[in-house]
Structure 1
Amino acid sequence: MRTELGERLDDLATQAPAGISADGLWDRGRRRQRVRRAAGTAAAAALTLVAVLGGVQVARDMDGPPQPADEPRGLGHLPKRLYEPSAWTPGTDEAGPPGRLAALGASDRRRSVNWFTTVSYTGIYGVSAVDGSIRFLDLPTTDDKTMPGQIRDAALSPDGRTVGFVRSDDTPTADSHAVGWGLYDTVTGKVTELADPDVSRPEIDFVGQELLFSGDSRYLITGYAPDGQTDDKADSYVAWDVRTGRKTVIEGPGEKWLPNPGSAPSGIVWSRDRNVYRFDPATGQRQTLRTAMDAGTASFGPDGTAFAYVGVPPVDPDPDVSTPWPLFVGPDSKHLRVVPGITDVRDILGWVDSTHVVVVIKNVDYAIVDITDATAERGTIDLGQDDLLRSRFASDLWANPLVDGTKPEQYRNPAIARATTTGAVVVGLVCLVIWWRRRV
Structure 2
Amino acid sequence: MSTLRERLGDLAGSAPVPPPDPDLWDRARRYHRRRRVGTAAVAAACVLAVVALVGLDSWQRSPSIEPAAPGTDPALPARFWEPSPWLPGNDGEPTGPLAGLMETERKTFLSSGDGVVGVSATTGEYRFLDLPDDAHEAIQGHALSPDGTKVAYWLTGETSGTPQTGGGQSLPVVGVGVWDSETGELIRHVAETEHGLAPDELLWADRNRLVVRWAHWRVGDDAPTRDQGGAYDRVGLRVWQVGDPKGPVGLGVSAFMDSTNGAGQLLLSGGKRPVLDLETAERTGPQVKRKPLLHISALSPDGTAIAYPRGNRNPGRLVVATASGVSDPLVEDKVWAAVGWVDDDTVAFVTRDADLDPISATIESISLSTGERTELIEAGTFQPLPGNLATDLLAVEPRDFAEPASPWNPRIVGGLLGSAVLVALMWLWGWRRSVRP
Query: Which one of the candidate residues 394, 399, 408 is aligned to 2:395?
Result: 399
* Partners of 1:356 and 1:217 in 2: CA distance: 21
Query: Which one of the candidate residues 158, 169, 176 is aligned to 1:181?
Result: 176
Alignment partner of 1:227 is 2:194: no
Please say which of residues 341-350 and 98-107 is displaced more in the overlay: 341-350
Secondary structure in structure 1 of the residue aligned to 2:394: helix
* Partners of 2:170 and 2:344 in 1: CA distance: 47
Q: Is the 8 A contact 1:259 1:272 kept in 2?
A: no
Alignment partner of 1:409 is 2:413: no
TM-fit CA distance, 1:191: 0.9
The one-letter code sitting in structure 2 at the alignment partner of 1:77 is A
Q: Is the 8 A contact 1:270 1:298 kept in 2?
A: no
* Partners of 1:311 and 1:86 in 2: CA distance: 32
* Partners of 2:97 and 2:80 in 1: CA distance: 16
TM-score normalised by the chain length of structure 2: 0.62
Q: Is the 8 A contact 2:210 2:241 kept in 1?
A: yes
Deviations 1:327-367 (A, max 9, x none): 3337x643752334346544332222221111233593333
TM-fit CA distance, 1:272: 2.6
Q: Is the 8 A contact 1:204 1:225 kept in 2?
A: yes
TM-fit CA distance, 1:121: 2.1
Secondary structure in structure 2 of the residue aligned to 1:93: coil
Provide the residue aligned with 2:122 in structure 1.
130
Superposition pairs of residues 195-274 of structure 1, within 5 angstroms? 195-197=190-192, 201-205=196-200, 209=201, 211-214=202-205, 216-228=206-218, 230=230, 236-244=236-244, 246-252=247-253, 258-274=256-272
TM-fit CA distance, 1:381: 2.8
Query: Which one of the candidate residues 101, 105, 109 is aligned to 2:106?
Result: 109
The one-letter code sitting in structure 2 at the alignment partner of 1:132 is G
Superposition pairs of residues 341-352 of structure 1, within 5 angstroms? 341-342=331-332, 344-352=334-342
Provide the residue aligned with 1:77 in structure 2.
75
The one-letter code sitting in structure 2 at the alignment partner of 1:203 is A
* Partners of 1:175 and 1:271 in 2: CA distance: 29
Q: Is the 8 A contact 2:308 2:337 kept in 1?
A: yes
Show structure 2 runs of 5+ residues with no match. 1-66, 219-228, 353-358, 418-437
Provide the residue aligned with 1:383 in structure 2.
380
TM-fit CA distance, 1:83: 2.6
Q: Report how many aligned residue pairs link the two structures.
A: 319
Secondary structure in structure 2 of the residue aligned to 1:236: coil
TM-fit CA distance, 1:308: 2.5
What root-mean-square deviation, in Å, do the aligned CA atoms of Structure 1 and Structure 2 show? 3.8
Q: Evaluate the alpha carbon distance shift between residue 340 and residue 279 of structure 1 in structure 2; reply closer, same or farther with a 3 A threshold.
A: closer
TM-fit CA distance, 1:377: 3.4
Q: Evaluate the alpha carbon distance shift between residue 249 and residue 383 of structure 1 in structure 2; reply closer, same or farther with a 3 A threshold.
A: farther
Alignment partner of 1:166 is 2:154: yes
TM-score normalised by the chain length of structure 1: 0.61
Secondary structure in structure 1 of the residue aligned to 2:198: coil
* Partners of 1:234 and 1:375 in 2: CA distance: 47
Q: Is the 8 A contact 2:217 2:231 kept in 1?
A: no
